[in-house]
Amino acid sequence: MSRPSKRRPNKKKLAPGKTLQGVSAFQDEKGRVSLWPSARRRTAQIAVLEHLAASFEGGRVYTDGEVTSLLRTRSTLQDLALLKRELIASDYLTHDEQAGTYWRSNGRPTALPTPAAVQEAAPTERQDEANG
């Protein structure tokens, strides 16, 4: 007599665009990302990254301070560097280390700003502390 199989049914992974409703499990009551999904839940991570990436305008250049500020308003996570790394590694954001600028990967800016323009746009440390 054979025993019934205890294997779980094979669950189909949904395309990232179809998992956005799953983002709510990782958000607080204000819609901010409050939990980072575990590595085993890569599909959920992608959904969270898509949610965050939607906050960035295509074709616009962001300074590091602007990216940090935007992520602070969209997330309660303390490790914003993790979010930046994941957004870059997953090709949602592109980072120019030399200029210290970011932009949406699908919306490359037509002209990169001069270093002087980046310096003018960068918030001061006091502004960051006042906002955070």
Q: Which residues contact 87 (CB under 8 A, 6 or more apart)?
A: 49, 52, 53, 93
Stated as kind and residue range, the H or E segment containing 52 is helix 42-53
CA angle 109, 62, 91 (to 5 degrees): 70
Measured CA to CA, the distance from residue 112 to residue 91 in angstroms comes to 19
The whole-number pLDDT of residue 24 equals: 84
**Regions of the chain short of the pLDDT cut 50:** 5, 7-20
SS3 44: helix
The whole-number pLDDT of residue 104 equals: 92
The whole-number pLDDT of residue 42 equals: 87
Two structure tokens written together for 61 = 């250049």
Measured CA to CA, the distance from residue 123 to residue 132 in angstroms comes to 12
* Strand positions, DSSP E, the chain: 62-63, 93-96, 101-104
Residues 105-113: contacts with CB under 8 Å, at least 24 apart = 106/58, 107/56, 107/57, 107/58, 107/59, 107/60, 108/59, 109/59, 109/60, 109/61, 110/59, 112/61, 113/61
SS3 103: strand
The whole-number pLDDT of residue 40 equals: 87
**Would the pTM of this model clear 0.85, i.e. be above it?**
no
